[in-house]
Amino acid sequence: MTDPICVLGIETSCDETAAAVLRRAPDGTVSILAETVRSQIDEHAPYGGVVPEIAARAHAEIADEIVSQTLQKSGVGLADLDAIAATSGPGLIGGVMVGMMTGKAMALAADKPFVPINHLEGHALSPRLADPCPFPYLLLLVSGGHCQFIAVAGLGDYRRLGSTIDDAAGEAFDKLAKTLGIGFPGGPAVERLASDGDAKRFALPRPLLNRPGLDMSFAGLKTAAARVVEAESLDIRGQADLCASFQAAIAECLAEKSRRALIEFQDGQGGDTRLVVAGGVAANQTIRAALNDVAEAADASLIAPPLRHCTDNAAMIALAGAERLAAGLVDDAGLTFAARPRWPLDEARAQADPAYGGGKRGAKA
């Protein structure tokens, strides 16, 4: 295509209702014309985690309004869009259905192509919203529902190098915060307390660290921390020390696995190496610093997109739609696409290794 492409993106796969309109120039440059993210944190906070039924209802109540407000803000009429893209999996199916059906209805009414997007592809392409970030690059996606290494070779060309075999790292932060009763989402609360803590006070496990390979595990760490809470009546000092010890354990696991992932990724590949970190856990300063050290030591650069594009958003979904349209990968079949609660990015690997395909665990997986 030689003309710019204008796409509306919709994201509703977990606890954010989001819409965005962006324009992609033929050279790949992106301008976000409008974007809205409405978080449901307040609705889920009393439960210490995302409740699927509450999420689906909240999306259904607000999706139309978010989409129409965003379109209006963008100054682009429905008739001027080139396509409508919506997350069609993986995720909490009730929410996915709301966004996907909203997108399909609009596409049908306006006679535009509908592009079903894999939410993980959105994350994989998210660095390209702000930065040219040429292919290939190594992505560490680390959030409340995802924790995986993906070698991004090109659009639609993803190889999963490793993933958590149980909880995602963000989920582990959330569980610790719930056990300590310090708030939801847990990551920011744990990070705040950890800033005054002694990371050496509690010797917590680093699961799978001494095993070869790039898979990760955080369930044992979460349980070990819960045992400390049960066994000792921690005062605020003790809580801070536990949070610091826990954060240090996660940072060490992510850093060491990233170090090995970079070696595997760089093997046989010349030129600059980019390590991209995305997902809500990428907000954590201790983790960022640890990843930065690893990247520097490997002569690679660490790219951390702005936080609003690390966490769930619709701009990355619109971008995936625009890149697919530009590459000629969009056909009429979009309107009949069935939502997929599980949708691994690397289908071949997930089939060969079905124990933990993309997004097996976690509310957002």
CA distance 148 to 359: 9
CB of 186 to Zn ion, least distance (A): 16
Nearer to Zn ion, 229 or 283 (CB): 283
Binders in 151-170 for Zn ion, by CB under 5 A: none
Nearer to ligand KG4, 74 or 313 (CB): 313
Nearer to ligand KG4, 28 or 52 (CB): 52
Q: Residue 245 binds which one of ligand KG4, Zn ion, none, with CB within 5 to 8 A depending on kind?
A: none
Question: Using the rule CB under 5 A, is 11 a contact of Zn ion?
Answer: no
CB of 146 to Zn ion, least distance (A): 6
Q: Residue 191 binds which one of ligand KG4, Zn ion, none, with CB within 5 to 8 A depending on kind?
A: ligand KG4
Backbone angles phi, psi at 343, to 5 degrees: -155, 80
Backbone angles phi, psi at 85, to 5 degrees: -120, 140
CA distance 226 to 306: 32
**Half-sphere exposure (CA, 13 Å, Cβ side) for 250?**
35
Asked if residue 251 lies in contact with residue 283, where contact means CB atoms within 8 angstroms, the answer is: no
Which residue in 312, 316, 358, 362 binds Zn ion (CB under 5 A)?
312
Distances (CA, A) of 134 to 15, 127, 138, 152, 155: 30, 10, 11, 10, 11
Nearer to ligand KG4, 106 or 177 (CB): 177
Q: What tokens appear for 291 in the block? A: 């990843």
Footprint on this chain of ligand KG4 (rule: CB under 6 A):
14, 143-145, 170-171, 173-174, 185-188, 191, 279-281, 283-284, 311-312, 364
Please choose, out of 98-106, 190-198, 250-258, 311-319, the segment that lies near Zn ion by the rule CB under 5 A.
311-319
Q: How many residues bind Zn ion (CB under 5 A)?
A: 1
CA distance 104 to 114: 6
CB of 181 to ligand KG4, least distance (A): 15
Residue 231, SS3? helix
Which positions lie near Zn ion, rule CB under 5 A?
312
